[in-house]
Amino acid sequence: MGTLVEEIFSQKAGRSVHAGEIVLLDVDYIMSHDNTTPLAIKAFEMIGKPIFDKQKIVLHFDHAYPAPNILAATNHKKIIEFAQKEDLPYLFKQGVCHQVMIEEGFVTPGAIIIGADSHSNTYGALGAFGAGLGSTEIGVAWVTGKSWFKVPETIRVELSGETQTGVYAKDVMIYIAGMLGMDGATYRSVEFGGRYIETLPMHERIVFSNMSTEIGAKCGLIAADQVTAEYLRENTPIEGPFEEIHPVSPNYERVLEIDVSTISPQLSCHPTVDNVRDLKELEGLDVNEIYIGTCTNGRYEDIEIAANLLKGQQVDSVTRVIVTPASQMIYKKAMKNGLLDILMDAGCTITGVGCGACIGRHGGILAPNERALTTMNRNFIGRMGSPLAEIYLASPATAAASALTGKITDPRNYLRQ
């Protein structure tokens, strides 16, 4: 009996656990990337004990890959040498870690996955417990195969209704961030459910779990169902069957009920994710760069939305429009289906896969006093380069519509044609 996180933890612990308890759990996978692995290696070497199970360790190159400078290259070299020395089976160089984790079949319902990246919450969209930790704890888990957790209280977000044309999961999640604030769910599990979520495809569900980090949540969970099972069968090596873990007579700390049909396109405005406004209030504001990509909105369907909106048109001549597919699987599908041709013909720049400009190291860095509209999940000062630049967060449709004008633009102006 319990909330979804209590049920997942109870299954793993082999006994019934409840909010407030401290539990030591076996983890299924331990994820880290080129930015966080070097510190994990340092911690591992200082502990001085052998790896518990190599099959649990999954390394990725995505934050600064291919290396934009000598220091990044040195990090990559160090990680490759470590992986060779320890004979580690998994080192991926094919896109944003969270997307590749899902594509490669590491994320399954009920799994416990820790990652040295704050957006490891992403895995919650498939009914797995995913949470971000620091590098030292990743090194600890390499040695022990375990991690400690305080079983969190749960905020249930019950979403009903259907979104209006031009409104996406991103708009709904930005709206929720505005309601709860950036510390509104600190230490909590956020459980997303209701009729809207039940009918939502996986690429949209992922937006909620991914951005639960931005309201401080430990994890952002969606109960696995038929949509999850079909998604896994069609897109990953995982066949199933899966045990569907659901909340059972849950005791929620708080329930938030939202009718999504009342929500219009939203923006997270400079300089915090919870600085939320209706797009209409800021329509016409000039932007210097449009950035479409990341673990939040760099998926095939996001690129498809942009391509459909930009087909046969030209983006604003002075605005830089950059598209970074989240993974090579997405890149290949977009290429095969002609989406990249459409975007390039419209004047967009397509980059290689990975985290790109979202980490402010390469692939679209901002100059002082510039403004970007992006599909990222975070708009902190200095995130994309200059601390004097402004970052606004929106859906891929809003980003594409704004690319045409070089100003913040309501996508409904184009989608209704």
Partner 1 sequence: MGKAWAFSENLNTDEIIPGRFNITIDPQELAKNVFCEIKPDYAPNVVVGDVIIGGQNFGCGSSREHAPIAIKGSGAKCIIAASYARIFFRNAVNIGLPILESREAAEGINEGDEIEVDLSSGKIDNMSTGESFQAQPLPPFIIKIAEAGGIINFLQTNSIEDLL
Q: Which residues bind partner 1 (CB under 8 A)?
A: 22, 24, 35-36, 38-39, 42-43, 46-49, 64, 69, 71-72, 75, 115-118, 120, 132-137, 139-140, 143-144, 146, 148, 182-183, 186-187, 216, 218, 272, 359-361, 378, 380-383, 385, 387
Residue 134 or 352 having the CB closest to partner 1: 134
CB of 414 to partner 1, least distance (A): 33
Cα of 412 vs its chain's centroid, Å: 25
- For the CA atoms of 204, 225, 246, 299, the dihedral, rounded to the nearest 10 degrees, stands at -20
**Whole-angstrom distance, CA of residue 339 vs CA of residue 341:** 5
Residue 71 or 344 having the CB closest to partner 1: 71
Residue 144 or 337 having the CB closest to partner 1: 144
CB of 178 to partner 1, least distance (A): 14
Q: Please answer whether residues 384 and 302 qualify as being in contact, where contact means their C-beta atoms are separated by less than 8 angstroms.
A: no
CB of 244 to partner 1, least distance (A): 28
User: Checking phi first, is residue 181 left (phi over 0); if not, alpha (psi -120 to 50) or beta?
Assistant: left
CB of 365 to partner 1, least distance (A): 9
Q: Please answer whether residues 177 and 258 qualify as being in contact, where contact means their C-beta atoms are separated by less than 8 angstroms.
A: no
Residue 37 or 108 having the CB closest to partner 1: 37
Listing DSSP states for 335-361 in one string gives HHTTHHHHHHHTTPEE--SSSGGGGTS
Residue 110 or 115 having the CB closest to partner 1: 115
For 172-246, where are the E strands, in sequence order? 189-193, 219-221
**Whole-angstrom distance, CA of residue 65 vs CA of residue 305:** 26
**Whole-angstrom distance, CA of residue 378 vs CA of residue 297:** 12
Cα of 296 vs its chain's centroid, Å: 4
Residue 27 or 128 having the CB closest to partner 1: 27
Candidates 417, 415, 385, 390; CA nearest to 401 is: 415
> Which value, in Å, is the radius of gyration of the alpha carbons in the chain?
21
Residue 358 or 403 having the CB closest to partner 1: 358
Angle formed by the axes of helices 70-86 and 37-47, to 10°?
Answer: 40
CB of 131 to partner 1, least distance (A): 8
Residue 215 or 279 having the CB closest to partner 1: 215
Residue 305 or 391 having the CB closest to partner 1: 391
CB of 145 to partner 1, least distance (A): 9
Q: Please, is 249 exposed, middle or buried when counting C-beta atoms within 10 Å of its C-beta (0-12, 13-18, 19+)? A: exposed
CB of 69 to partner 1, least distance (A): 7
CB of 98 to partner 1, least distance (A): 12
Candidates 367, 401, 345; CA nearest to 288 is: 367
Q: Please answer whether residues 321 and 383 qualify as being in contact, where contact means their C-beta atoms are separated by less than 8 angstroms.
A: no
CB of 132 to partner 1, least distance (A): 4
